[in-house]
Amino acid sequence: MFADLHLHTYFSDGTYTPEELVGHGVRHNLKGMALTDHDTVEGCARMAVACAAAGIEFVPASELTAEIHDTELHILGYFLDTTHPRLLSELAKFQLVRQNRIREMVARLNKLNIPLRAETVFAIANCQAPGRPHVGRALVQEGFCATLDEAFDRFLKRNRPAWVPKEKISARDAITLIHEAGGLAVMAHPGLNRNDHIIPELVAFGMDGIECFHTKHSTSMSEHYLMIADQHHLLITGGSDCHGMNKGKPLIGGVRIPFAYLERLKARALERRAKNQVRTATV
Protein backbone atom coordinates (compact mmCIF):
# COMPACT_ATOMS: atom_id res chain seq x y z
CA MET A 1 0.00 0.00 0.00
CA PHE A 2 1.37 3.37 -1.08
CA ALA A 3 0.52 7.06 -0.84
CA ASP A 4 1.38 10.27 -2.67
CA LEU A 5 1.30 13.24 -0.30
CA HIS A 6 2.20 16.09 -2.65
CA LEU A 7 -0.34 16.76 -5.39
CA HIS A 8 -1.86 19.82 -7.10
CA THR A 9 -5.07 20.50 -9.04
CA TYR A 10 -6.41 23.37 -11.09
CA PHE A 11 -7.41 25.07 -7.84
CA SER A 12 -3.82 26.35 -7.83
CA ASP A 13 -1.24 25.71 -10.55
CA GLY A 14 -2.10 22.17 -11.64
CA THR A 15 -4.19 21.17 -14.65
CA TYR A 16 -6.24 18.24 -13.29
CA THR A 17 -9.59 18.51 -11.57
CA PRO A 18 -9.72 16.76 -8.18
CA GLU A 19 -11.71 13.96 -9.79
CA GLU A 20 -9.18 13.51 -12.60
CA LEU A 21 -6.35 13.45 -10.09
CA VAL A 22 -8.05 10.73 -8.06
CA GLY A 23 -8.61 8.78 -11.26
CA HIS A 24 -4.87 8.81 -11.87
CA GLY A 25 -4.35 7.76 -8.26
CA VAL A 26 -6.58 4.75 -8.79
CA ARG A 27 -4.61 3.77 -11.91
CA HIS A 28 -1.39 3.91 -9.88
CA ASN A 29 -2.92 1.85 -7.06
CA LEU A 30 -2.56 4.61 -4.49
CA LYS A 31 -4.26 4.04 -1.14
CA GLY A 32 -3.55 7.53 0.20
CA MET A 33 -3.52 10.97 -1.44
CA ALA A 34 -2.99 14.51 -0.14
CA LEU A 35 -4.13 17.62 -1.98
CA THR A 36 -1.50 20.31 -1.41
CA ASP A 37 -2.60 23.19 -3.62
CA HIS A 38 -0.77 26.47 -3.04
CA ASP A 39 -2.38 28.85 -0.54
CA THR A 40 -5.84 27.30 -0.81
CA VAL A 41 -8.00 24.42 0.39
CA GLU A 42 -10.70 25.08 -2.24
CA GLY A 43 -10.34 21.70 -3.90
CA CYS A 44 -10.31 19.61 -0.72
CA ALA A 45 -14.07 19.02 -0.47
CA ARG A 46 -14.29 17.62 -3.99
CA MET A 47 -11.09 15.62 -3.56
CA ALA A 48 -12.45 14.09 -0.34
CA VAL A 49 -15.62 12.94 -2.10
CA ALA A 50 -13.67 11.46 -5.04
CA CYS A 51 -11.22 9.67 -2.73
CA ALA A 52 -14.03 8.25 -0.59
CA ALA A 53 -15.71 6.84 -3.70
CA ALA A 54 -12.40 5.25 -4.77
CA GLY A 55 -11.54 3.83 -1.34
CA ILE A 56 -8.52 6.10 -0.95
CA GLU A 57 -7.47 7.75 2.32
CA PHE A 58 -7.61 11.51 1.79
CA VAL A 59 -5.43 14.11 3.51
CA PRO A 60 -6.65 17.73 3.35
CA ALA A 61 -3.59 19.93 2.99
CA SER A 62 -2.08 23.08 1.52
CA GLU A 63 1.37 24.34 0.53
CA LEU A 64 2.38 27.71 1.96
CA THR A 65 5.23 29.88 0.70
CA ALA A 66 7.24 31.09 3.68
CA GLU A 67 10.61 32.62 4.48
CA ILE A 68 13.22 32.62 7.19
CA HIS A 69 16.25 34.95 7.18
CA ASP A 70 15.38 35.98 3.59
CA THR A 71 15.40 32.31 2.56
CA GLU A 72 12.27 31.11 0.75
CA LEU A 73 10.86 27.73 1.63
CA HIS A 74 7.60 25.87 1.16
CA ILE A 75 5.77 24.42 4.14
CA LEU A 76 3.14 21.73 3.68
CA GLY A 77 0.26 21.69 6.15
CA TYR A 78 -1.32 18.24 6.49
CA PHE A 79 -4.66 17.19 8.01
CA LEU A 80 -5.87 20.78 8.13
CA ASP A 81 -9.31 21.70 9.39
CA THR A 82 -10.48 23.25 6.13
CA THR A 83 -13.24 25.17 7.93
CA HIS A 84 -10.91 26.79 10.47
CA PRO A 85 -11.77 30.53 10.46
CA ARG A 86 -8.26 31.95 10.89
CA LEU A 87 -6.80 29.53 8.36
CA LEU A 88 -9.38 30.63 5.78
CA SER A 89 -8.81 34.29 6.63
CA GLU A 90 -5.05 34.00 6.19
CA LEU A 91 -5.39 31.97 2.98
CA ALA A 92 -7.64 34.71 1.59
CA LYS A 93 -4.84 37.23 2.25
CA PHE A 94 -2.30 34.98 0.52
CA GLN A 95 -4.64 34.64 -2.46
CA LEU A 96 -5.00 38.42 -2.75
CA VAL A 97 -1.20 38.69 -2.76
CA ARG A 98 -1.10 36.17 -5.60
CA GLN A 99 -3.73 38.07 -7.60
CA ASN A 100 -1.89 41.36 -7.18
CA ARG A 101 1.32 39.67 -8.23
CA ILE A 102 -0.35 38.57 -11.47
CA ARG A 103 -1.43 42.16 -12.14
CA GLU A 104 2.13 43.40 -11.62
CA MET A 105 3.56 40.71 -13.94
CA VAL A 106 1.07 41.71 -16.64
CA ALA A 107 1.94 45.38 -16.14
CA ARG A 108 5.62 44.58 -16.66
CA LEU A 109 4.79 42.61 -19.80
CA ASN A 110 2.73 45.55 -21.07
CA LYS A 111 5.78 47.79 -20.64
CA LEU A 112 7.58 45.36 -22.94
CA ASN A 113 4.87 46.01 -25.56
CA ILE A 114 3.18 42.67 -24.93
CA PRO A 115 -0.53 43.54 -24.70
CA LEU A 116 -1.57 40.73 -22.37
CA ARG A 117 -4.56 41.45 -20.12
CA ALA A 118 -4.79 40.40 -16.49
CA GLU A 119 -8.37 39.30 -17.11
CA THR A 120 -7.07 36.75 -19.63
CA VAL A 121 -4.75 35.25 -17.01
CA PHE A 122 -7.50 35.12 -14.38
CA ALA A 123 -9.87 33.45 -16.85
CA ILE A 124 -7.27 30.74 -17.57
CA ALA A 125 -6.53 30.28 -13.87
CA ASN A 126 -10.21 30.15 -12.86
CA CYS A 127 -9.18 29.85 -9.19
CA GLN A 128 -8.41 32.03 -6.19
CA ALA A 129 -4.67 31.21 -6.10
CA PRO A 130 -3.24 32.03 -9.55
CA GLY A 131 0.47 31.71 -10.23
CA ARG A 132 3.18 32.15 -12.83
CA PRO A 133 2.15 29.05 -14.84
CA HIS A 134 -1.16 30.77 -15.58
CA VAL A 135 0.67 33.81 -16.94
CA GLY A 136 2.80 31.46 -19.02
CA ARG A 137 -0.25 29.66 -20.38
CA ALA A 138 -1.84 33.01 -21.25
CA LEU A 139 1.29 34.07 -23.16
CA VAL A 140 1.10 30.85 -25.16
CA GLN A 141 -2.66 31.06 -25.71
CA GLU A 142 -2.43 34.64 -26.98
CA GLY A 143 0.44 33.78 -29.33
CA PHE A 144 3.19 35.75 -27.57
CA CYS A 145 5.21 32.58 -26.85
CA ALA A 146 5.29 29.20 -28.53
CA THR A 147 5.67 27.11 -25.38
CA LEU A 148 5.40 27.39 -21.61
CA ASP A 149 9.17 26.88 -21.36
CA GLU A 150 9.72 29.85 -23.65
CA ALA A 151 7.40 31.99 -21.55
CA PHE A 152 9.36 31.21 -18.40
CA ASP A 153 12.78 31.48 -20.05
CA ARG A 154 12.05 34.86 -21.64
CA PHE A 155 9.84 36.53 -19.06
CA LEU A 156 8.83 34.69 -15.90
CA LYS A 157 11.87 33.10 -14.29
CA ARG A 158 13.67 34.86 -11.45
CA ASN A 159 15.52 37.94 -12.75
CA ARG A 160 13.63 37.87 -16.06
CA PRO A 161 11.81 41.10 -17.04
CA ALA A 162 8.31 40.09 -15.86
CA TRP A 163 9.35 38.23 -12.72
CA VAL A 164 7.85 39.66 -9.53
CA PRO A 165 8.90 38.45 -6.06
CA LYS A 166 6.11 37.04 -3.93
CA GLU A 167 5.30 38.33 -0.46
CA LYS A 168 5.71 35.52 2.05
CA ILE A 169 4.59 34.59 5.55
CA SER A 170 7.34 33.99 8.09
CA ALA A 171 8.19 30.33 8.67
CA ARG A 172 7.34 30.64 12.36
CA ASP A 173 3.92 32.14 11.56
CA ALA A 174 3.23 29.49 8.90
CA ILE A 175 3.95 26.68 11.35
CA THR A 176 1.81 28.33 14.04
CA LEU A 177 -1.08 28.81 11.60
CA ILE A 178 -0.94 25.17 10.50
CA HIS A 179 -0.93 24.01 14.13
CA GLU A 180 -3.85 26.28 15.02
CA ALA A 181 -5.82 24.64 12.20
CA GLY A 182 -5.10 21.22 13.68
CA GLY A 183 -2.50 20.34 11.08
CA LEU A 184 1.11 19.22 10.88
CA ALA A 185 3.84 21.40 9.37
CA VAL A 186 6.28 19.71 6.99
CA MET A 187 9.21 21.21 5.08
CA ALA A 188 8.65 20.59 1.36
CA HIS A 189 11.35 19.34 -1.04
CA PRO A 190 14.40 20.42 1.02
CA GLY A 191 16.70 19.09 -1.68
CA LEU A 192 15.53 21.86 -4.01
CA ASN A 193 16.27 24.60 -1.48
CA ARG A 194 19.55 23.14 -0.17
CA ASN A 195 19.29 25.14 3.03
CA ASP A 196 19.80 22.44 5.62
CA HIS A 197 21.17 25.01 8.07
CA ILE A 198 17.66 26.37 8.70
CA ILE A 199 16.21 22.99 9.72
CA PRO A 200 17.19 23.16 13.41
CA GLU A 201 15.49 26.56 13.74
CA LEU A 202 12.36 25.25 12.03
CA VAL A 203 12.35 22.33 14.45
CA ALA A 204 12.57 24.84 17.31
CA PHE A 205 9.50 26.57 15.86
CA GLY A 206 7.63 23.26 16.09
CA MET A 207 8.00 21.84 12.58
CA ASP A 208 6.65 18.28 12.56
CA GLY A 209 8.20 16.65 9.51
CA ILE A 210 10.27 16.78 6.37
CA GLU A 211 9.55 15.67 2.81
CA CYS A 212 12.31 13.14 2.24
CA PHE A 213 10.97 11.69 -1.01
CA HIS A 214 10.29 13.96 -3.99
CA THR A 215 10.45 13.75 -7.77
CA LYS A 216 13.60 15.92 -7.83
CA HIS A 217 15.33 14.18 -4.93
CA SER A 218 18.01 11.70 -5.87
CA THR A 219 18.36 8.50 -3.88
CA SER A 220 21.30 9.98 -2.01
CA MET A 221 19.27 13.12 -1.23
CA SER A 222 16.41 11.05 0.16
CA GLU A 223 18.82 9.08 2.32
CA HIS A 224 20.38 12.32 3.55
CA TYR A 225 17.02 13.75 4.63
CA LEU A 226 15.97 10.48 6.19
CA MET A 227 19.03 10.81 8.41
CA ILE A 228 18.10 14.40 9.28
CA ALA A 229 14.53 13.32 10.06
CA ASP A 230 15.87 10.68 12.41
CA GLN A 231 18.27 13.14 14.03
CA HIS A 232 15.50 15.63 14.79
CA HIS A 233 12.70 13.10 15.42
CA LEU A 234 10.71 14.39 12.46
CA LEU A 235 7.88 12.68 10.59
CA ILE A 236 8.70 11.51 7.06
CA THR A 237 6.59 12.39 4.04
CA GLY A 238 6.97 12.33 0.27
CA GLY A 239 5.18 12.77 -3.00
CA SER A 240 5.42 13.40 -6.70
CA ASP A 241 4.56 17.14 -6.62
CA CYS A 242 2.34 16.44 -9.62
CA HIS A 243 0.95 19.52 -11.41
CA GLY A 244 -0.82 17.62 -14.18
CA MET A 245 0.43 18.68 -17.61
CA ASN A 246 1.76 22.08 -16.51
CA LYS A 247 5.32 20.81 -16.28
CA GLY A 248 5.37 18.65 -19.40
CA LYS A 249 4.20 15.34 -18.00
CA PRO A 250 2.05 14.05 -15.15
CA LEU A 251 4.37 13.03 -12.32
CA ILE A 252 1.84 11.10 -10.25
CA GLY A 253 2.99 7.52 -9.80
CA GLY A 254 6.65 8.48 -10.01
CA VAL A 255 7.05 8.86 -6.24
CA ARG A 256 5.07 6.69 -3.85
CA ILE A 257 5.76 6.27 -0.16
CA PRO A 258 4.76 3.36 2.08
CA PHE A 259 1.30 3.84 3.56
CA ALA A 260 2.84 3.44 7.03
CA TYR A 261 4.24 7.00 6.77
CA LEU A 262 0.71 8.29 6.23
CA GLU A 263 -0.55 6.33 9.23
CA ARG A 264 2.13 7.92 11.46
CA LEU A 265 1.23 11.34 10.12
CA LYS A 266 -2.44 10.74 10.87
CA ALA A 267 -1.73 9.53 14.40
CA ARG A 268 0.31 12.67 15.15
CA ALA A 269 -2.45 14.86 13.65
CA LEU A 270 -5.01 13.26 15.95
CA GLU A 271 -2.73 14.08 18.89
CA ARG A 272 -2.51 17.68 17.68
CA ARG A 273 -6.30 17.99 17.42
CA ALA A 274 -6.71 16.55 20.92
CA LYS A 275 -4.22 19.06 22.36
CA ASN A 276 -5.98 21.94 20.57
CA GLN A 277 -9.33 20.85 22.00
CA VAL A 278 -7.93 20.70 25.53
CA ARG A 279 -6.32 24.10 25.10
CA THR A 280 -9.59 25.60 23.80
CA ALA A 281 -11.60 24.06 26.64
CA THR A 282 -9.30 25.58 29.28
CA VAL A 283 -9.27 29.10 27.82
User: Confidence class of residue 272 from pLDDT cuts 50, 70 and 90?
Assistant: confident
Q: What total number of domains does the chain contain?
A: 2
Residue 143, burial from CB neighbour count under 10 angstroms (0-12, 13-18, 19+):
exposed
Give yes or no for residue 193 having a pLDDT over 90.
Answer: no
Residue 223, burial from CB neighbour count under 10 angstroms (0-12, 13-18, 19+):
exposed
Give yes or no for residue 283 having a pLDDT over 70.
Answer: no
197 and 237 both lie in a single domain = yes
The answer to whether the CB of 184 falls within 8 A of the CB of 208 is yes
| Confidence at residue 274, expressed as pLDDT on a 0 to 100 scale | 86
Assign 86 to helix, strand or coil: helix
**Close Cβ partners of 204 (under 8 Å, ≥ 6 residues apart):** none
- Residue 249: CB atoms within 10 A of its CB come to 11
Give yes or no for residue 247 having a pLDDT over 90.
Answer: no
253 and 182 both lie in a single domain = yes
| Tens of pLDDT, residues 160-173 | 999 998 889 999 99
> Which residues form the domain of 112?
93-156
Write down the pTM of the prediction.
0.92
Give yes or no for residue 249 having a pLDDT over 80.
Answer: no
Asked, for residue 162, whether it belongs to a domain, the answer is: no
| Confidence at residue 232, expressed as pLDDT on a 0 to 100 scale | 97
Asked, for residue 161, whether it belongs to a domain, the answer is: no
11 and 76 both lie in a single domain = yes
| Tens of pLDDT, residues 19-69 | 999 999 999 999 999 999 999 999 999 999 999 999 999 999 999 999 999
User: Confidence class of residue 262 from pLDDT cuts 50, 70 and 90?
Assistant: very high
Give yes or no for residue 279 having a pLDDT over 80.
Answer: no
Mean of the per-residue pLDDT values of the chain:
94
Domain CATH code at residue 111:
1.10.150
| Confidence at residue 248, expressed as pLDDT on a 0 to 100 scale | 63
